[in-house]
Amino acid sequence: MKSLGKYMIFLGKLISNREPFRVYLKLFFDECILIGINSLTIVVLVSVFIGAVMCLQTAFNLVSPIIPRYVISQVVRDIALLEVAPTFTAIVFAGKVGSNIAGGLGTMKITEQVDALEVMGINSASYLVLPKVLAGMFMYPILVTIAGFLAITGGYIAGVVSGVVTPEEYIYGIRADFMEFSVSFALLKAFVFSFLITSISAYKGYYTEGGALEVGASSTKAVTNSCIAVLVADFFIAQFLV
């Protein structure tokens, strides 16, 4: 509870007494590039493979001849859009980007780089963290979109190569009973999760005290805490859906 309050105050610090807009612009783009480079490879790998595995697993479980084969890709599509793309990727994102943010800020804190900014009269929390949070919220939905697309593609490749479903059936299934809502839903999740991951990780990093060991600990805590926050938020958003 106490740390929740501290986290809220930290969020307040990000937006009060900001630096001029032009200062953030460059930092924002730098962070976007960094986040993209950091997480693209792993997100691509994870989503393609999960998509492939989902397709084969679903096929394996659908033994009844009365169920049409295109249901396989329908299942893959729905899980990919609703869970894999936003939530599963969030866990990967927390591991990559979250730990990076916490480690970077933690190092800056213990080597007094944060103090150096403060002495100059710069709001260090806002200067260092706000661009990261905004860049995360900008890049993550893009990553989620890529992940969703690739998971479905992964399913297609696995399904067609293994012969459990024909290309025509797969494409038909993807388009059957498609709800546009699931895309907006995935993007809503993307915004919420990326905000949680970047801000919690930044919070953990920013309040690191001690030495290299504590930076490591902050990094780990950043990942676990943001994963927990993501899963809790996922649950509440799912509630909101039904």
Partner 1 sequence: MIEINNIQKTFEDKTVLHGISAVFEKGKTNMIIGASGTGKSVLLKTIVGLIEPDEGEVLYNGRNFYDANRDEQKKIRREIGMLFQGSALFDSLSVEKNVMFPLDMLSRMSKSEKEDRVQFCLKRVGLAGSEKKMPSEISGGMKKRVGIARAIVMKSQYLFCDEPNSGLDPNTAIIIDNLIQEITKEYDLTTVIVSHDMNSMMEIGEYILFMHEGKKVWEGSNDDVTDAESPILQKFIFSNKLMRKYKQ
Q: How far is the CB of 164 from partner 1 (least distance, A)?
A: 49
Binding mask 78-107 for partner 1 (x = CB under 8 A): -----------------------------x
The count of chain residues that interact with partner 1, using the rule CB under 8 A, is 15
Of the pair 111, 184, the CB lying nearest partner 1 is at 111
Of the pair 104, 141, the CB lying nearest partner 1 is at 104
CB within 8 Å of 224: residues ≥ 6 apart: none
Q: How far is the CB of 111 from partner 1 (least distance, A)?
A: 5
Of the pair 177, 209, the CB lying nearest partner 1 is at 209
Of the pair 19, 168, the CB lying nearest partner 1 is at 19
Q: How far is the CB of 112 from partner 1 (least distance, A)?
A: 4
Cα(236)–Cα(230) distance, rounded to whole angstroms?
10
Which residue, among 56, 96, 93, has the nearest Cα to 76 in the 3D structure?
A: 56
Which residue, among 191, 43, 204, has the nearest Cα to 129 in the 3D structure?
A: 204
Of the pair 24, 195, the CB lying nearest partner 1 is at 24
- Within 110-129, the residues that bind partner 1 by CB under 8 A are 111-113, 115-116, 118-122
Q: How far is the CB of 110 from partner 1 (least distance, A)?
A: 9
Q: How far is the CB of 162 from partner 1 (least distance, A)?
A: 47
Stretch that binds partner 1, among 52-60, 109-117, 167-175, 221-229 (CB under 8 A): 109-117
Which residue, among 161, 196, 180, has the nearest Cα to 90 in the 3D structure?
A: 196
Of the pair 115, 168, the CB lying nearest partner 1 is at 115
Q: How far is the CB of 115 from partner 1 (least distance, A)?
A: 6
Question: The dihedral of CA 127, 130, 136, 137: what is its sign?
Answer: negative
Binding mask 11-40 for partner 1 (x = CB under 8 A): ------x-x---x-----------------
Q: Which residues form the interface with partner 1 (CB under 8 A)?
A: 17, 19, 23, 107-108, 111-113, 115-116, 118-122
